Structure 1
């Protein structure tokens, strides 16, 4: 009985250890993980401090142009998209992303160029599992698929076959599509008052998060002037540094453990 009890206890301990190790392995496979961050904002409202990871469409390009220290930046908007080939139709989990996406994150290709699996606006990258579903083979490179983009059906060339996304990835998708082909892109390309997607950055070597966050203060004031004036008018109080909105960076290795609620960010690893 004692041996059985010890064996059971050992098995449970081993299972718990494996579970913890798996949890701690989340997003560790990205080669640039030490310099990659998710952008979020700490905003002072009349009700107090609020956090947001949603950004407007023009935010990422403007940040790259106007604030030094960024090596790569990408927008990433998750959608469900109908993808067709011949008689096969599938609703796929899609990420609408910028070209830098695959320079920031290490999603290895099964077939194609790892650095540029989506080289132009008419190309998409799919996982090997999706390739099998659509074409009956993992080598669907060069095939033309039809995507339901809003009310239109548009052709795209499969330019990259990605290895299936690892189970220990915070980001999961079946197809990557150029961000600028999203059906709402043209309507919101200059709209700073509509926020709906996360943004990820890779900082230049030697740039610290505190340096970068401080260097974005003027950028934030410039592009959020009306919102900040409205918050002041409605009774919002500035933070300890005198700011009403502060851009912050969350390390990519904390993404799986981060819990954003309206007021606080908690990162719990156990």
Structure 2
């Protein structure tokens, strides 16, 4: 008897609830018809508010997600430098040939380095010549960064000086297919076109990546270049380092600067004398480690030479609260 009573009570409640909803809908419809202009303004305002809120949320989410897809992302840092010239202090993300190999060899805690340089060139197809956005990097690029390959071996695809890796879109643009391992393309090198063999095809870089490449080839530095101490001060590329899991970035940074001062200060002062630059007009650079995952939103260090332009963390901080206020 008790169960029967509960059933009928629930049944009556659902009927009443449905009737109430119908009543509310009728009242709302009558109000809409009675005040059409006012109702239209409210509906448009609500729609615009929701749209703006969603767009702000997507913008903030995208900005904060930059470079966070790399498996070893929390161990990857970009080498930046800070120097004072004529009393003005500035920061730069551009380094030279020597920072990567010398810090790896002489500073505990650094497992690997990656140099990354924009080195656009021309490509020849038949008699047609067109520009190619080529980037050069070290052979362990795909072992440090998490850019998946559609085809090819990440450990060996950049070992050969005349190998090239194409993105999916670039492979289709050049060959009409991604099944192109072993095929060759003609790249301009100095004054001649040289055949490069396709050794891998990479998935297109994510939109929230600071590194985006259509084509990658091996970075080249001669033995003479890597032995020339003046190249500490010839800055034209980006250098990333992979730290040990247990390494302390602050301590590594300190050891980098200590080694740099020991190895390069003599060359620095000799170059000042060589070019007639007053000693007190420029300081020896101070090296810093910038976490990869914070790189995009660091407005104090502008990216260059192949790295996607930086955003501004202030915008993310402002837009975030605006999203919640607009809800």
Question: Which residue of 1 is the match for residue 212 of structure 2?
Answer: 172
CA contact (8 A) 2:91 2:300 kept: yes
Is the aligned partner of 1:234 residue 2:264?
Answer: no
Is the aligned partner of 1:101 residue 2:141?
Answer: yes
Moved more, 202-211 or 80-89: 80-89
Question: Which residue of 2 is the match for residue 72 of structure 1?
Answer: 112
Give distance in 2, aligned partners of 1:266 and 1:49.
21
Question: Which residue of 2 is the match for residue 17 of structure 1?
Answer: 57
Question: Which residue of 2 is the match for residue 223 of structure 1?
Answer: 264
Is the aligned partner of 1:268 residue 2:313?
Answer: yes
Instruction: Select the structure of larger CA radius of gyration.
Output: 2
The Cα offsets for residues 51-84 of structure 1, whole Å up to 9 and x where unpaired, read as: 2222222332112111121111011110212123
Instruction: For structure 2, list consecutive stretches of 5 or more residues without a partner in the other structure.
Output: 1-39, 303-309, 317-327
The Cα offsets for residues 208-259 of structure 1, whole Å up to 9 and x where unpaired, read as: 1101011112321112433257499632698xxxxx4321011111221123
The Cα offsets for residues 160-185 of structure 1, whole Å up to 9 and x where unpaired, read as: 1001111111112111010017xxx5
CA contact (8 A) 1:46 1:234 kept: no
Structure 1 or 2: larger strand share? 1
Give distance in 2, aligned partners of 1:237 and 1:179.
30
TM-score by length of 1: 0.86
Is the aligned partner of 1:47 residue 2:92?
Answer: no
Question: Which residue of 2 is the match for residue 254 of structure 1?
Answer: 294
Give distance in 2, aligned partners of 1:110 and 1:88.
28
After TM superposition, give the deviation of residue 266 of structure 1 in Å: 9.8
Instruction: For structure 1, list consecutive stretches of 5 or more residues without a partner in the other structure.
Output: 239-243
Is the aligned partner of 1:28 residue 2:68?
Answer: yes
Report the CA distance shift for 1:179/1:43 in structure 2 as closer, same or farther (over 3 A): same
The equivalences for 1:85-164 within 5 A come to 85-86=125-126, 89-164=129-204
After TM superposition, give the deviation of residue 25 of structure 1 in Å: 1.5
Q: Secondary structure at the match of 2:187?
A: strand
Count of residues in correspondence between the two structures: 260
After TM superposition, give the deviation of residue 267 of structure 1 in Å: 6.1
CA contact (8 A) 1:220 1:245 kept: no
After TM superposition, give the deviation of residue 13 of structure 1 in Å: 0.5
Question: Which residue of 2 is the match for residue 241 of structure 1?
Answer: none
Give distance in 2, aligned partners of 1:18 and 1:122.
41
Structure 1 or 2: larger helix share? 2
After TM superposition, give the deviation of residue 143 of structure 1 in Å: 0.5
Q: 1:207 aligns with which of 232, 247, 254?
A: 247
Q: Secondary structure at the match of 1:199?
A: strand
Tell me how large the CA RMSD over aligned residues is.
Answer: 2.7
